[in-house]
Amino acid sequence: MPPQKILIVQLNRLGDFILATPMLRALKEDNPQHQIHILASRHNSALAHAHPLVDKVLIHSKKIIPTLELLVQLKSEQYDYWIDPKDHFSREGYFFARWAKAKFKIGFNGKGRDAVFNVALPATEENYHDQVAVRNLRALQVFGLQHADPRPRLFVEARCERKLQKFLEAQQIKKYFCVHLSASKEIRYWPQPNWIAFLREIGNDKRHFIITGDLRDAARAQEIVSHVPQARHYPAASVIDLFSVVQHADLVISPDTSVVHIAAAFDRPLLGLYSNEEWNLKKFYPLSTQHRIVMGVAPGTLVRDIPLDLMRAKYWEFVRECQTSV
């Protein structure tokens, strides 16, 4: 397809943007001259700015004056394609799409609403069995790219690589597991005593654990370090710092689906802690080639309720399955 000016709406959080990056890769592979703009939120704008496949970032800050300025900008850009890949109604997305000028608007209209999008996307119910990255790619059907690779496309930065290598050398670490503690909600945190007992059991002299997490969880990380001899806390300043840690890990262990998707981008083996909710698992299923999901047996079981014995069993089962790399 000839070069097109394309805006992709991403007004949610980091994980949502990460799962939209397969769209960026597919479009740039279709034609490197496509101009790709992202309408980002304040939560994911830094990641959008840093992504080399993004040509321009527009930010919705939800403040009155910046929003008015954004509307003027959207009106003047004259996009060929406006793409909002969500499969459910979004008041903000619908409002911006109605305001903007674009030859083709791709998105979900919503029941009983004016058809703002002239290329309509299917609803959540029709996509129920598909992971979000697969759902997103359906928005590229007009480009013939709906069956592109759904794995996220992320890039490490040289400064982050240097920072990590300096840390590893200072700590004399050659092989490690990345253990990410943080999650978006408290009910998705695995209890500290479980982490300590689990890591003490699986640790050995040839392997370390790099403990990562949000800055607010630094005390949790330090508590684990104080009880697990092989553990070291790596205070990643941003999610981009985390890319480097994940890329070089022999195994990634996390209850945070953003980190699950980062692991998929670099195809690292993954042990993911999930709540036992079918819709959540289908929507945010791991895309790493080698992965194992850990969740309680009973429907509705939360991450915090995953038994330590089950975590142990799933880990050793996974190690036997991919022992050449973990």
User: What pLDDT does residue 110 have?
Assistant: 81
Write the CA distances from 16 to 11, 32, 45, 239, integer angstroms: 9, 23, 12, 13
Which of 161, 182, 315, 157 minimizes the C-alpha distance to 248? 161
Q: Which residue numbers in the chain have pLDDT < 50?
A: none
User: What pLDDT does residue 79 have?
Assistant: 96
User: What pLDDT does residue 325 have?
Assistant: 55
Length of the chain: 326
User: What pLDDT does residue 204 have?
Assistant: 78
For each of the domains in the chain, give its residue range(s) and CATH number, in order of start. Answer: 5-143 (3.40.50.2000), 158-321 (3.40.50.2000)
DSSP conformation letters of 246-275:
HHT-SEEEES-HHHHHHHHHTT--EEEE--
How far apart CA 303 and CA 323 sit, in angstroms, is: 26
The predicted-structure confidence for 268-316, as pLDDT tens digits, reads as follows 999 999 999 999 999 999 999 999 999 999 999 999 999 999 999 999 9
DSSP conformation letters of 25-76:
HHHHHH-TT-EEEEEEETTTHHHHHH-TT-SEEEEE---HHHHHHHHHHHHH
Q: What is the torsion angle, in degrees rounded to the nearest 10, for the CA atoms of residue 185, residue 288, residue 86 and residue 49? A: 80
Q: Identify whether the C-beta of residue 286 lies closer than 8 Å to the C-beta of residue 266.
A: no
Q: Is 0.85 topped by the overall pTM?
A: yes
Q: What is the torsion angle, in degrees rounded to the nearest 10, for the CA atoms of residue 230, residue 165, residue 268 and residue 322? A: -50
